[in-house]
Structure 1
Amino acid sequence: MSIVDEVRAVVAAIPPGRVMSYGDIAARIGAGPRQVGRAMTLLDDAVPWWRVVHADGTPATCHGGTAPALLRAEGTPLTRTRVDMPRARLPRPSTT
Protein backbone atom coordinates (compact mmCIF):
# COMPACT_ATOMS: atom_id res chain seq x y z
CA MET A 1 0.00 0.00 0.00
CA SER A 2 1.41 3.42 -0.93
CA ILE A 3 1.59 6.31 1.52
CA VAL A 4 -1.16 8.05 -0.47
CA ASP A 5 -3.40 5.00 -0.01
CA GLU A 6 -2.58 4.84 3.70
CA VAL A 7 -3.33 8.55 4.18
CA ARG A 8 -6.55 8.22 2.17
CA ALA A 9 -7.72 5.33 4.37
CA VAL A 10 -7.02 7.19 7.62
CA VAL A 11 -8.59 10.46 6.45
CA ALA A 12 -11.67 8.70 5.10
CA ALA A 13 -12.19 7.12 8.53
CA ILE A 14 -12.23 10.42 10.46
CA PRO A 15 -15.86 10.87 11.52
CA PRO A 16 -17.76 14.15 11.10
CA GLY A 17 -17.11 16.54 13.97
CA ARG A 18 -13.65 15.12 14.67
CA VAL A 19 -10.19 15.95 13.30
CA MET A 20 -6.65 14.66 13.13
CA SER A 21 -3.47 16.64 12.67
CA TYR A 22 -0.89 15.85 10.02
CA GLY A 23 1.29 14.55 12.85
CA ASP A 24 -1.50 12.33 14.17
CA ILE A 25 -1.86 10.69 10.78
CA ALA A 26 1.91 10.40 10.45
CA ALA A 27 2.11 8.60 13.81
CA ARG A 28 -0.66 6.24 12.79
CA ILE A 29 0.98 5.20 9.50
CA GLY A 30 4.64 5.49 10.46
CA ALA A 31 5.52 8.47 8.26
CA GLY A 32 6.46 12.11 8.76
CA PRO A 33 3.95 14.99 8.85
CA ARG A 34 5.42 16.52 5.70
CA GLN A 35 4.96 13.23 3.88
CA VAL A 36 1.33 13.23 5.00
CA GLY A 37 0.92 16.80 3.75
CA ARG A 38 2.36 15.87 0.37
CA ALA A 39 0.09 12.82 0.14
CA MET A 40 -2.91 15.02 1.00
CA THR A 41 -2.25 17.09 -2.11
CA LEU A 42 -2.71 13.95 -4.19
CA LEU A 43 -6.11 13.00 -2.76
CA ASP A 44 -9.36 13.73 -4.55
CA ASP A 45 -12.11 15.92 -3.13
CA ALA A 46 -14.21 12.88 -2.15
CA VAL A 47 -11.92 12.47 0.88
CA PRO A 48 -12.83 14.75 3.84
CA TRP A 49 -9.62 16.77 3.60
CA TRP A 50 -11.02 19.53 5.86
CA ARG A 51 -10.83 17.13 8.85
CA VAL A 52 -7.02 17.26 8.71
CA VAL A 53 -5.65 20.30 10.50
CA HIS A 54 -2.36 21.65 11.80
CA ALA A 55 -1.32 20.60 15.31
CA ASP A 56 -2.43 23.97 16.71
CA GLY A 57 -5.93 23.50 15.25
CA THR A 58 -5.49 25.81 12.28
CA PRO A 59 -7.65 24.52 9.41
CA ALA A 60 -6.34 24.02 5.90
CA THR A 61 -6.31 27.13 3.71
CA CYS A 62 -6.66 25.33 0.38
CA HIS A 63 -9.95 25.03 -1.52
CA GLY A 64 -10.60 28.74 -1.20
CA GLY A 65 -10.47 28.68 2.58
CA THR A 66 -13.68 26.63 2.90
CA ALA A 67 -12.42 24.28 5.65
CA PRO A 68 -13.74 26.34 8.60
CA ALA A 69 -17.25 26.43 7.14
CA LEU A 70 -17.19 22.68 6.44
CA LEU A 71 -15.95 21.94 9.96
CA ARG A 72 -18.59 24.23 11.47
CA ALA A 73 -21.33 22.55 9.41
CA GLU A 74 -20.30 19.18 10.87
CA GLY A 75 -20.45 20.48 14.43
CA THR A 76 -16.71 20.36 14.99
CA PRO A 77 -15.82 22.26 18.19
CA LEU A 78 -14.13 25.50 17.15
CA THR A 79 -12.67 28.50 18.87
CA ARG A 80 -12.78 31.77 17.00
CA THR A 81 -10.17 30.82 14.38
CA ARG A 82 -9.13 27.24 15.16
CA VAL A 83 -10.40 23.79 15.95
CA ASP A 84 -10.70 23.13 19.69
CA MET A 85 -8.14 20.30 19.58
CA PRO A 86 -8.74 18.87 23.08
CA ARG A 87 -12.42 18.37 22.21
CA ALA A 88 -12.24 17.50 18.49
CA ARG A 89 -9.02 15.53 18.06
CA LEU A 90 -9.22 11.79 17.64
CA PRO A 91 -6.88 10.07 20.06
CA ARG A 92 -3.54 8.89 18.78
CA PRO A 93 -3.08 5.15 18.73
CA SER A 94 -1.57 3.71 21.88
CA THR A 95 2.15 2.98 21.70
CA THR A 96 1.99 0.35 24.44
Structure 2
Amino acid sequence: MRTEYVEAVLSLVRLVPPGAAVAYGDVAEMLGSGGARQVGSVMSHHGSSVPWWRVLRANGEAPQGLEAEALAFYLQEGTPLLGRYLDFLRTGEGRWRVDLTQARWAPADGDFDLIDLIAERLERRLHKMSAPDDEMTV
Protein backbone atom coordinates (compact mmCIF):
# COMPACT_ATOMS: atom_id res chain seq x y z
CA MET A 1 0.00 0.00 0.00
CA ARG A 2 1.41 3.37 -0.98
CA THR A 3 2.40 5.69 1.85
CA GLU A 4 0.49 8.52 0.19
CA TYR A 5 -2.77 6.59 0.33
CA VAL A 6 -2.21 5.54 3.95
CA GLU A 7 -1.57 9.16 4.96
CA ALA A 8 -4.67 10.38 3.12
CA VAL A 9 -6.94 7.76 4.73
CA LEU A 10 -5.62 8.51 8.21
CA SER A 11 -5.94 12.28 7.67
CA LEU A 12 -9.55 11.90 6.63
CA VAL A 13 -10.41 9.57 9.53
CA ARG A 14 -9.06 12.17 11.97
CA LEU A 15 -11.81 14.53 10.74
CA VAL A 16 -14.71 12.23 11.73
CA PRO A 17 -16.15 13.73 14.94
CA PRO A 18 -17.07 11.84 18.10
CA GLY A 19 -20.47 10.14 17.89
CA ALA A 20 -20.28 9.90 14.10
CA ALA A 21 -19.15 7.06 11.86
CA VAL A 22 -18.36 6.31 8.23
CA ALA A 23 -18.09 3.11 6.25
CA TYR A 24 -14.83 2.06 4.63
CA GLY A 25 -16.37 2.79 1.23
CA ASP A 26 -17.38 6.30 2.35
CA VAL A 27 -13.73 7.11 3.03
CA ALA A 28 -12.66 5.83 -0.40
CA GLU A 29 -15.45 7.83 -2.06
CA MET A 30 -14.49 11.04 -0.26
CA LEU A 31 -10.86 10.54 -1.31
CA GLY A 32 -11.86 9.69 -4.88
CA SER A 33 -9.39 6.82 -4.75
CA GLY A 34 -9.30 3.16 -3.82
CA GLY A 35 -12.19 1.22 -2.42
CA ALA A 36 -13.60 -0.20 0.78
CA ARG A 37 -11.05 -3.04 0.88
CA GLN A 38 -8.11 -0.67 0.50
CA VAL A 39 -9.41 1.57 3.28
CA GLY A 40 -10.01 -1.50 5.46
CA SER A 41 -6.44 -2.63 4.85
CA VAL A 42 -5.07 0.78 5.80
CA MET A 43 -7.16 0.82 8.96
CA SER A 44 -6.19 -2.72 10.00
CA HIS A 45 -2.46 -2.08 9.53
CA HIS A 46 -2.09 1.63 10.35
CA GLY A 47 -5.29 2.80 12.06
CA SER A 48 -4.33 2.51 15.71
CA SER A 49 -3.20 6.16 15.85
CA VAL A 50 -6.59 7.53 14.74
CA PRO A 51 -10.20 7.01 15.97
CA TRP A 52 -10.46 3.66 14.16
CA TRP A 53 -13.81 2.78 15.75
CA ARG A 54 -15.46 5.52 13.67
CA VAL A 55 -14.73 3.62 10.44
CA LEU A 56 -16.67 0.41 9.98
CA ARG A 57 -18.40 -1.96 7.60
CA ALA A 58 -21.27 -0.70 5.49
CA ASN A 59 -23.73 -2.69 7.63
CA GLY A 60 -22.62 -0.81 10.77
CA GLU A 61 -20.68 -3.67 12.36
CA ALA A 62 -17.55 -2.77 14.29
CA PRO A 63 -14.16 -4.03 13.13
CA GLN A 64 -13.96 -7.78 13.68
CA GLY A 65 -12.24 -8.77 16.90
CA LEU A 66 -12.50 -5.25 18.29
CA GLU A 67 -16.22 -5.17 19.02
CA ALA A 68 -15.96 -4.82 22.80
CA GLU A 69 -13.35 -2.07 22.62
CA ALA A 70 -15.30 -0.25 19.90
CA LEU A 71 -18.56 -0.52 21.87
CA ALA A 72 -16.95 1.24 24.83
CA PHE A 73 -15.99 4.14 22.54
CA TYR A 74 -19.47 4.25 20.96
CA LEU A 75 -21.16 4.41 24.35
CA GLN A 76 -18.74 7.07 25.59
CA GLU A 77 -19.30 9.20 22.46
CA GLY A 78 -23.07 8.68 22.26
CA THR A 79 -22.92 6.97 18.86
CA PRO A 80 -26.40 5.71 17.84
CA LEU A 81 -26.58 1.91 18.15
CA LEU A 82 -29.01 -0.83 17.16
CA GLY A 83 -29.45 -4.29 18.65
CA ARG A 84 -28.63 -5.98 21.92
CA TYR A 85 -25.52 -4.07 22.93
CA LEU A 86 -26.47 -4.11 26.63
CA ASP A 87 -26.57 -7.92 26.53
CA PHE A 88 -23.19 -7.85 24.81
CA LEU A 89 -21.81 -5.67 27.61
CA ARG A 90 -23.13 -8.00 30.32
CA THR A 91 -22.46 -11.39 28.79
CA GLY A 92 -20.45 -10.95 25.60
CA GLU A 93 -23.47 -12.33 23.73
CA GLY A 94 -25.91 -10.43 21.56
CA ARG A 95 -25.62 -8.82 18.18
CA TRP A 96 -25.48 -5.08 17.75
CA ARG A 97 -24.22 -2.50 15.29
CA VAL A 98 -23.86 1.23 14.77
CA ASP A 99 -26.98 2.83 13.31
CA LEU A 100 -25.30 4.30 10.24
CA THR A 101 -28.56 5.93 9.15
CA GLN A 102 -28.26 8.23 12.16
CA ALA A 103 -24.54 8.13 12.86
CA ARG A 104 -23.15 8.59 9.33
CA TRP A 105 -20.94 11.66 9.28
CA ALA A 106 -22.33 14.55 7.26
CA PRO A 107 -19.31 16.83 6.74
CA ALA A 108 -19.89 20.57 7.09
CA ASP A 109 -18.58 23.04 4.48
CA GLY A 110 -15.29 23.47 6.33
CA ASP A 111 -14.90 19.71 6.52
CA PHE A 112 -15.47 19.43 2.77
CA ASP A 113 -12.72 21.99 2.21
CA LEU A 114 -10.32 19.84 4.25
CA ILE A 115 -11.47 16.64 2.54
CA ASP A 116 -10.91 18.28 -0.86
CA LEU A 117 -7.40 19.32 0.18
CA ILE A 118 -6.58 15.78 1.32
CA ALA A 119 -7.99 14.27 -1.89
CA GLU A 120 -6.24 16.79 -4.13
CA ARG A 121 -2.90 16.25 -2.38
CA LEU A 122 -3.30 12.48 -2.78
CA GLU A 123 -4.15 12.85 -6.47
CA ARG A 124 -1.13 15.11 -7.09
CA ARG A 125 1.23 12.76 -5.28
CA LEU A 126 -0.09 9.66 -7.03
CA HIS A 127 -0.06 11.39 -10.41
CA LYS A 128 3.49 12.63 -9.85
CA MET A 129 4.63 9.10 -8.99
CA SER A 130 3.01 7.58 -12.08
CA ALA A 131 4.25 10.22 -14.55
CA PRO A 132 7.05 9.01 -16.83
CA ASP A 133 10.48 10.47 -16.09
CA ASP A 134 11.21 11.23 -19.71
CA GLU A 135 8.75 12.05 -22.41
CA MET A 136 9.52 10.04 -25.52
CA THR A 137 9.12 11.79 -28.84
CA VAL A 138 8.29 9.99 -32.01
So what's the TM-score if we normalise by structure 1?
0.85
Equivalent pair of 1:77/1:88 in contact (CA under 8 Å): yes
Matched, 1:43 2:80: no
- Give 2:100's aligned residue: 85
Matched, 1:66 2:69: yes
Cα-Cα RMSD: 1.9
Greater RCO (CA < 8 Å, at least 6 residues apart): 1
Structure 1: gaps (5+ residues): none
Deviations 1:25-81 (A, max 9, x none): 011112111110111123252300000111011111244741112111100000120
Matched, 1:7 2:9: yes
Q: Percent identity?
A: 39
Could you tell me how far apart the structure 2 residues matched to 1:73 and 1:62 are? 19
Equivalent pair of 2:10/2:47 in contact (CA under 8 Å): no
Could you tell me how far apart the structure 2 residues matched to 1:26 and 1:33 are? 6
SS at match of 1:82: strand
- Give 1:22's aligned residue: 24
Which structure dedicates a bigger proportion of its chain to helix?
2
Aligned residue pairs, count: 93
Could you tell me how far apart the structure 2 residues matched to 1:55 and 1:12 are? 19
Could you tell me how far apart the structure 2 residues matched to 1:62 and 1:5 are? 24
Deviations 1:2-44 (A, max 9, x none): 1100110111110000000001001111211111011112325
Could you tell me how far apart the structure 2 residues matched to 1:14 and 1:46 are? 14
